[in-house]
Structure 1
Amino acid sequence: MFLIICFILGLVAVASNPSPYFAALGLVVSAGIGCGLLVGLGNSFLSLVLFLIYLGGILVVFAYTAALAAEPYPESWGDWSVLVYVIVYFSGLVYVNSNFVEGWGCGWFSGEEISGLEIVRGDFSGVALLYSYGGGMLVLGG
């Protein structure tokens, strides 16, 4: 539950900040916490791959936006204009959660499938599919 709350806080930090510096920081924190959620559900390999690929993409986007936005004093999360956005987004989240969502735990499941005496991890079977069928797609994409 703590990771879910931190994930939501990180996404609100990304959505409410007009400056690319702080928004990219919130995006990296949200990606790390989202990968922590995946680890908690049993998908450790998927979490690692997603984190490495996502951080590479964020690095490129952050370098591009930092080069375009040359503000000497960017707005931060403590400014009043950004605080208004944070309050609006949180009130929208509370409204949606109270009226449309049954509970926080609906739809979450772990990455293991148990059948008889064998346990199949979801992320490990994805790696097997990547090596068996992914080679042809790599050649076709190249």
Structure 2
Amino acid sequence: MTYFVLFLGVCFVLGALAVASNPSPYYGVMGLMVGSIAGCGWLVSLGASFISLVLFLVYLGGMLVVFVYSVSLAADPYPEAWGSLGVLGSGFGLLMVVVVGAVLGGFIGMGGWVMNTVDCSGVAVVRMDFGGVAMFYSWGAGMFMVAGWGLLLTLFVVLEVVRGVSGGAVRAV
């Protein structure tokens, strides 16, 4: 279980690196998907399966729609690939920052991080994330409305930003 959680952490960092050093929007979407899947898997291994499912649905159901619209509107005829010199240099620099942070943080010197998972904590009658479902739907209804309007506003902002000189999708008919 520990190796699986470490694998998910590595996938999360690699997904964040892919988003940070993307040469084209196509690759940024793939990095975001890898990072969100790894992060939600990490939450599942910690015992928070409900919040992991909610975050997974929000990221892949909501935010990737914005990326699909932006990729379709800003399609490059000749997208830059991962093998270009600028992208490799940026990725190597970001990877070195992660390695230096891990060394200075004591990850390599102390033999790893200690983490309690569901297997270590024992079995509970009602897990904490299932107890929060009722509170999520009773007190969180207003926040869901605010988040929905925020996502709609984000969609229109991205559509306006990537429209360029051609007019884009939001234009007078």
Higher strand share: 1
Question: Could you tell me whether the CA contact under 8 Å between 1:7 and 1:30 is conserved in 2?
Answer: yes
Note if 1:105 corresponds to 2:113: yes
CA RMSD of aligned residues (A): 2.8
The one-letter code matched in structure 2 to 1:97 is: A
**Deviation of 1:140 (Å):** 8.3
Write the mapping of 1:61-80 to structure 2, written as runs, cut at 5 A: 61-80=66-85
Note if 1:31 corresponds to 2:39: no
Q: Distance in 2 between matches of 1:45 and 1:92?
A: 33
Question: Could you tell me whether the CA contact under 8 Å between 2:45 and 2:118 is conserved in 1?
Answer: no
Unaligned 5+ segments in structure 1 are: none
Secondary structure of 1:38's counterpart equals helix
**Deviation of 1:54 (Å):** 1.0
Secondary structure of 1:129's counterpart equals helix
**Deviation of 1:111 (Å):** 6.9
Out of 17, 23, 26, the position equivalent to 1:21 is 26
User: Who is 2:152 aligned against?
Assistant: none
The one-letter code matched in structure 1 to 2:61 is: G
User: Who is 1:128 aligned against?
Assistant: 134
Q: Distance in 2 between matches of 1:28 and 1:46?
A: 17
Q: Distance in 2 between matches of 1:66 and 1:17?
A: 13
The one-letter code matched in structure 2 to 1:134 is: G
Q: Distance in 1 between matches of 2:132 and 2:11?
A: 28
Secondary structure of 1:71's counterpart equals coil
User: Who is 1:89 aligned against?
Assistant: 94
Change (3 A) 1:121 1:69: same
User: Who is 1:58 aligned against?
Assistant: 63
Unaligned 5+ segments in structure 2 are: 1-5, 150-173
Runs of 4+ off more than 4 Å: 108-112, 138-142
Aligned length: 137
The TM-score, its normalising length taken from structure 1, stands at 0.80
Question: Could you tell me whether the CA contact under 8 Å between 1:111 and 1:122 is conserved in 2?
Answer: no
Q: Distance in 2 between matches of 1:14 and 1:96?
A: 19
The percentage of aligned residue pairs carrying the same residue is 47
